[in-house]
Homo-oligomer: A and B are copies of this chain.
């Protein structure tokens, strides 16, 4: 498949005429062909009009139709073959193995949501039977199912050009819920986006779905992105990116005539607590694991461990020294974009200027334009607690070790941090009391709590929570990874005394969809098929 620089609007391939841009190869800091045409307002309106037209048909496709659609998208992405991987490598600086793994995850996500759709548990089918003889008043027949919210705007992430981009987790879960999707492609991987966008477009045609089920626009976030979120057609937003970008969309969505939910996954420094027993049992191995996690993918993960907290002790000093040494061995890696690289070096400069923060070690440099040198810093808890700037995420392979004088101060640091995607504890049995004292605070701060692991690496399954209190996300009630991500794009509707021929299948007496249902307060399992 050829990359032409064109957008996907329904079943049309459209060249944007508002302006043009080329993708950048960050390893050379040089543009790549071809030229991409960016959308103007007219293209946003067309995509929204098509999504609106598609909505009532698409949301009532059968569960099987929607599951097959998601699987077809997966197949069409796989069919792009090495064209996709090569373009993604050129645009992002990420290595082949990582991108092939990410493609596997993307396909896996689509297939998980196909399973979630077929199960139908997301419909929350609930029946309270009529009680015509109840005194003083009879109870009517009441039935509840969830329906799709409406067309969803998705903003892809720079750091997951496949798994959290055009056909990534937000798109997969919104499509699974029955919502048409309009993607605003990320400028960091335009060609990759075009390829995947066309693969989804083809799946729409393959499955004979309404063309407005999917569109993908090129354009900048401040204009086209904001315009999209402001459109009355759009009923929810999925976003993965910077805190500033996410907060801007939250404000736009809240200021609309009809406010809509925004699911923005934004900013997290992912504190790691290393407890005394764990340090004693194997501080050097912990240090190596931490540095590997920190520098993996040039530190460009939402769950990158940007903060390590321990109690001042010889063992913690040993850990710190081992981490510093391990970091020095790490080579420089190419960051995703010149902008991200600039923000990283700016963050490092700010850290260097903060009183009480000491540079422990740096990774290798290589002199290439967008290559990031890893960095490890240290400060005392007192400095940490009094310096709000240390809360800010520095996106990249940089972390700060915080030294606490006692357990009370460690707890104070835990209470002090902002909302997080993850919080990690390294502990052995002897640390149980400290770990237990930390746990209630960590539950309030983070969407996922890990023991004896590092936070990078997010399993796509039913029990995953990739979410957390603000500013980790805009909505701590949700997750953007895992089966529950579908819940973000649904709302309940109650049907009272609706005649059986007009009832949705999920709520019909015969249970033709074989759903687990809550009937008169009792959860009944799905009938055997």
Contact = CB atoms under 8 A, between A and B. Distances in A.
Is the interface on chain A under 10, 10 to 19, 20 to 34, or 35 or more residues?
35 or more
Contacts of A150: 444
A330 interface: no
Nearest 5 A-B pairs (CB), nearest first? A465-B494, A254-B254, A142-B463, A144-B463, A448-B494
A439 B502 contact: yes
Contacts of A491: 447, 467, 469, 476-477
A259 B246 CA distance: 12
Contacts of A259: 250, 254, 470, 474
A462 B471 CA distance: 33
A254 B258 contact: no
27 contacts: A115-B521, A119-B521, A126-B463, A139-B461, A142-B461, A142-B463, A143-B463, A144-B484, A150-B444, A250-B259, A254-B259, A259-B470, A259-B474, A427-B499, A436-B502, A439-B502, A447-B491, A447-B494, A448-B494, A449-B494, A450-B496, A450-B497, A451-B499, A462-B518, A464-B494, A465-B492, A479-B492
Interface in A137-170: 137, 139-140, 142-144, 147, 149-150
A251 B256 CA distance: 11
Contacts of A510: none
Contact of A451 (B419, B490, B496): B496
Interface stretch (A37-45, A319-327, A452-460): A452-460
Contacts of A523: 121, 516, 523, 525-526
Given A137-B457, A483-B521, A523-B523, 19 more contacts: A56-B440, A124-B484, A128-B464, A142-B461, A143-B463, A144-B465, A250-B254, A261-B477, A439-B502, A450-B497, A451-B498, A453-B496, A462-B521, A464-B494, A476-B491, A477-B490, A523-B525, A523-B526, A525-B525
B451 A126 contact: no
A460 to B, nearest CB: 10
Contacts of A498: 449-451
A475 interface: yes
Interface of A: 56, 60, 115, 119, 121, 124, 126-128, 137, 139-140, 142-144, 147, 149-150, 250-251, 254, 258-259, 261, 419, 427, 429, 432, 435-436, 439-440, 443-444, 446-453, 457, 459, 461-465, 467, 469-471, 474-479, 483-484, 490-499, 501-502, 516, 518, 520-521, 523, 525-526
Contacts of A142: 459, 461, 463-464
Among A149, A432, A475, A498, max chain B CB count under 10 A is at: A498
Contact of A128 (B429, B447, B448, B462): B462
Contacts of A496: 448-451, 453
A281 to B, nearest CB: 14
A342 to B, nearest CB: 27
B453 A140 contact: yes
A358 to B, nearest CB: 30
A495 B440 CA distance: 12
Nearest to A436: B502
Contacts of A462: 126, 128, 144, 518, 520-521
Contact of A452 (B137, B251, B469, B497): B497
A162 to B, nearest CB: 17
A6 to B, nearest CB: 32
A457 B150 CA distance: 29
A490 B478 CA distance: 10
B477 A447 contact: no
A457 B461 CA distance: 41
Among A142, A452, A475, A483, max chain B CB count under 10 A is at: A142
